[in-house]
Amino acid sequence: MSEAQVEGAREVRAEDTIDIPALSKWLGSHGVQGTPEIKQFSGGASNLTYLLRYPERDLILRRPPAGHKAKSAHDMRREHFIQSKLKPVFDYVPEMIAFCEDESVIGSEFYVMQRLEGTILRSHLPAGFVANNAETTKLCRDVIDVLAQLHAVDPVAAGLGELSRGAGYVRRQVEGWSDRYRKARTWNVPPFAWVMDWLAANQPDDVRSCVIHNDYRFDNVVLQAQEPHKILGVLDWEMATIGDPLMDVGGALAYWVQADDDLVFRKLRRQPTHVPGMLTRAEVVEYYCDRAGLSPENWAFYEVFGLFRLAVIAQQIYYRYHHKQTRNPAFKNYWLMVSYLDWRCKRVISRTAG
């Protein structure tokens, strides 16, 4: 194991502490001997991620947060199961070590997996990471290609057929995320009624049913440290399921901030999609659809749904902060993001209507 600092790994927050002796004992029963040094990754706003440092290797532990949780969210068994089944047929999944359903060990279910050592892109490209715009474009297309490869996995052959609920994925998503927003709404955010009504009235049929990641972003992609154009793995599978691939693309593009976007959206940017050489959102859609053999008739629906879903995720996180279920200061102003995303959804809808 390298003694170098791991980017994003910090001291564990007081509200997220782990019983290290109990964890070490449990891991020992699964072939991992010794007592790890534990750090917590500061990035991310949903499930909690910890770095377990051993002399010979690093591991990663994932567990749910404390406080309010959507009924279907933060299912550690499911997240572990999906990655275990995908690993043999999709090269970009970390190796799973073990899953723990005994909440007495650290206070919740959790699982432990291999740490993929590489580069994760955040708001800016590291200095010298790419030589020119053409290399940036290639990297961008390679990331999209991996998503297309995931969508080409046969769910039944991979052992993931049980995740499918059949046709009607788009409808279930519109209804489900609308219900989540209503339940998580606080007094200081907009009702989103017009947006939810528009989504319900304009939803298309499912275009296809496949394995989807549901949270595909640059900061969930690990790149080879020495060969930055090579993708080593994909992280954060908590929302993966069997669903419509265009919904997956729409969700990914909710985070895709361009250089010519308005100031507020640029302030929310968390990945380097603004740099010269990166595809625009429209170019991503065109490139992906060409690779996947799809041609959506109403892309605005997927764009609005992606933005709305992001607003719901932000609001669910803010709900926990608002009700003092977490004191993480990073969540303090999430209500402002929710309000902005309401405006952005309405802007896309109005542009479509015009």
Cα 66 to Cα 155: distance, rounded to the nearest angstrom: 32
All structural domains of the chain: 9-115 (3.30.200.20), 120-353 (3.90.1200.10)
What letter does residue 72 receive in the DSSP assignment? T
Report how far residue 274's alpha carbon sits from residue 122's, in angstroms, rounded to the nearest whole number.
Answer: 12
pLDDT at 68: 43
Tally of CA atoms within 13 A in the half-sphere of 19 that contains its CB: 12
Find, among 102, 82, 89, 26, the residue nearest to 59 by Cα. 26
Neighbours of 28 (CB within 10 A): 12
The model's pTM: 0.92
Q: Are 185 and 314 spatial neighbours (Cβ–Cβ below 8 Å)?
A: no
Q: What's residue 1's pLDDT? A: 47
Which uninterrupted H or E stretch holds 275?
A: none
Mean pLDDT value across the chain: 93
Query: Residue 245 is encoded by which pair of tokens?
Result: 């691939």
What pLDDT was estimated at residue 42?
80
- Pairing mode, if any, of strands 241-243 and 210-212? antiparallel
pLDDT below 70 — which residues of the chain?
A: 1-4, 43-45, 67-73, 354
